Amino acid sequence: MSLEFGSTVDDVMRRWPVTIGVFIEHRMRCVGCPIGCFHTLDDACREHDIDRTRLMADLSQAIARKVSSHATGMSSTAGRA
């Protein structure tokens, strides 16, 4: 699954839990919302009057940071018994 405007909010938060903080920072009450499994990122932005390009950039950045820190952590433990 890739991050797209057509991705559901629920799928995004389940696939990348680090994104939950981004929704909260944008004052979007998507966490735990029963509509999250139906709303796409585009729907949620429209509903909350959020700039969709900005949200997508913030979500992508959070995911990239998490992936980067995970890769760094894995390489620093390589070779340990």
pLDDT tens per residue across span 17-55: 999 999 999 999 999 999 999 999 999 999 999 999 999
Rounded Cα gap, residues 65 and 81, in angstroms: 27
Does residue 79 fall inside a structural domain?
no
- Contact between 43 and 50 under an 8 Å Cβ cutoff? The reply is no
Distances (CA, A) of 67 to 4, 9, 39, 47: 18, 20, 25, 29
Domain count along the chain: 1
CA-atom Rg of the chain in angstroms: 15
- Contact between 41 and 11 under an 8 Å Cβ cutoff? The reply is no
Q: Per-residue confidence at 69, pLDDT binned at 50, 70, 90? A: confident
Does residue 16 fall inside a structural domain?
yes
Does residue 81 fall inside a structural domain?
no
Q: What range does the domain containing 42 cover?
A: 9-73
- pTM confidence score: 0.80
